[in-house]
């Protein structure tokens, strides 16, 4: 489906819409009466949030939550990001306390914030609703937004954005949504050439493709894919281990902020083994509280674990597995993706080697869940930050959603706007 000019249309209307898309966007930009303020967008989002909470969209949301085993508390946390208090706070944090009235320069030069112009969002499909939120961020600073839906999209994003326009009709010329496959290169190039900025959610290949599509004068803003992990001392408590295990079961390790594995503050193989067994037992207890991973993913990981066991003599790895979960103790200290879906690696990494070991992964580092004694937290957090980590939390909070948090260490509203100086 397509969303254009405030109407949901079938894909067969795509070519007709594309013929005038650039001219339509430029017309909107040239009309001063079409200037969006944060207050307009925030009010519409707040009304939409209340509709969601009242159950108006349960027919879409409830099956999605059940299929993904997302708790009601997590759902409420996501909805909270669309509400007035959260969005106003986000604007204040990212743009400044008086974000609609920038102070003049000392010589009297006037400063105003303007949108970048037109944003082309290439959304990822690992979180339902994220494509819609990416568009909301673009709207908050007045941009026209062209959204490419991810493959397999549930329909939630287009429904939310359509409802947003119904609440606030002034948004209709600022939101375009297309269900275009990644193989439709010429259409994607058209979007990229129209845009002043390409917002890409994805890994290296997605970012590379976006840079190749975009003109050299177009800004490319990339979010993810990132690698996140936990760092634990041998004194980490059972409660901390269970908190991390719960996070892993809740996210199935598919988010950029999800824990892929655990580095242990030791260079001793026996201490690593003791820790690995402790975490495995905590993992088993918590996993029993959750719905099982899909049969397909369990089968895929069963093959991965079978191969691990075949090579165990050569790799010297220790494999702990049960009921669809695994903890594998490795001999190297490489930060890498896990097998996902509740399969975790454990590696040794003494704290005095943190910077030299992790620094080379610079652009991939995101969240670290820190499991340690209170009096160790700040020193270890400082080392991790110097290595390039941009988000340090407790283990259970690695994928929390808080208004005002940065995206990968950067404020998106600043990336999506520009300062114009007059005088």
- Condensed to tens digits (0 to 9), the pLDDT of residues 210-241 reads 999 999 999 999 997 899 999 999 999 999 99
CATH 3.40.309.10 segments of the chain = 227-397
List pLDDT tens digits, range 7-63: 999 989 999 999 999 999 999 999 988 889 999 999 999 999 999 888 888 887 788
- What is the pTM for the complete model shown? 0.91
Domain with CATH 3.40.605.10 in the chain: 2-224+408-422
Q: In the chain, which residues have pLDDT < 70?
A: 68-69, 71-72, 126, 128
CATH class of this structure's domain 227-397: alpha beta
Superfamily of domain 2-224+408-422: Aldehyde Dehydrogenase; Chain A, domain 1 (3.40.605.10)
Q: How far apart are CA 230 and CA 225, in angstroms?
A: 17
Residue-level pLDDT at 126: 66
Torsion angle of C-alpha atoms 390, 86, 54, 179, degrees rounded to 10:
-60
What crossing angle do the helices spanning 38-53 and 130-140 adopt, rounded to 10°? 150
Among 401, 399, 398, which Cα is nearest to 384's? 398
């Amino acid at each position: 489906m397509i969303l254009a000019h405030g109407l949901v249309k079938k894909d067969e209307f795509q070519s007709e819409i594309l013929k005038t898309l650039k001219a339509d966007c430029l017309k909107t930009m040239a009309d001063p009466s079409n200037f969006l303020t944060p207050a307009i967008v925030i009010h519409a989002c707040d009304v939409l949030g209340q509709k969601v909470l009242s159950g108006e969209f349960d027919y879409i949301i409830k099956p999605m939550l059940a299929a993904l085993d997302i708790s009601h508390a997590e759902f409420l946390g996501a909805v909270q990001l669309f509400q007035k208090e959260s969005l106003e706070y986000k604007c204040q944090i990212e743009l400044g306390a008086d974000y609609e009235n920038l102070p003049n320069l000392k010589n009297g030069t006037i400063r105003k914030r303007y949108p970048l112009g037109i944003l082309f969002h290439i959304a990822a499909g690992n979180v339902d609703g994220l494509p819609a939120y990416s568009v909301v961020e673009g709207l908050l600073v007045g941009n026209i937004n062209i959204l490419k839906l991810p493959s397999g999209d549930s329909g939630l994003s287009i429904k939310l954005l359509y409802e947003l326009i119904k609440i606030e009709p002034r948004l209709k010329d600022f939101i375009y949504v297309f269900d275009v496959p990644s193989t439709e290169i010429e259409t994607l190039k058209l979007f990229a050439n129209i845009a002043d900025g390409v917002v890409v959610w994805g890994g290296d290949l997605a970012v590379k493709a976006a840079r190749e599509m975009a003109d050299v004068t177009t800004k490319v803003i990339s979010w993810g894919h990132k690698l996140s992990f936990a760092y634990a001392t041998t004194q980490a408590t059972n409660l901390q281990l269970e908190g991390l295990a719960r996070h892993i079961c809740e996210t199935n390790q598919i988010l950029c902020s999800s824990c892929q594995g655990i580095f242990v503050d030791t260079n001793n193989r026996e201490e690593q083994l003791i820790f690995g067994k402790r975490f495995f037992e905590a993992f088993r207890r918590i996993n029993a509280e959750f719905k099982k991973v899909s049969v397909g993913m369990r089968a895929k990981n069963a093959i991965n674990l079978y191969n691990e066991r075949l090579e165990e003599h050569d790799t010297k790895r220790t494999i702990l597995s049960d009921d669809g979960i695994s903890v594998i103790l490795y001999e190297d200290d490489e930060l890498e993706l896990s097998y996902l879906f509740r399969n975790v690696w454990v590696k040794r990494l003494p704290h005095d080697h943190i910077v030299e070991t992790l620094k080379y992964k610079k652009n991939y580092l995101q969240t670290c869940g820190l499991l340690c004694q209170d009096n160790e937290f700040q020193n270890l957090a400082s080392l991790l930050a110097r290595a390039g980590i941009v988000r340090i939390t407790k283990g259970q909070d690695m994928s929390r959603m808080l208004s005002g948090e940065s995206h990968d260490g950067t404020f998106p509203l600043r990336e999506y706007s520009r300062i114009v100086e007059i005088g």
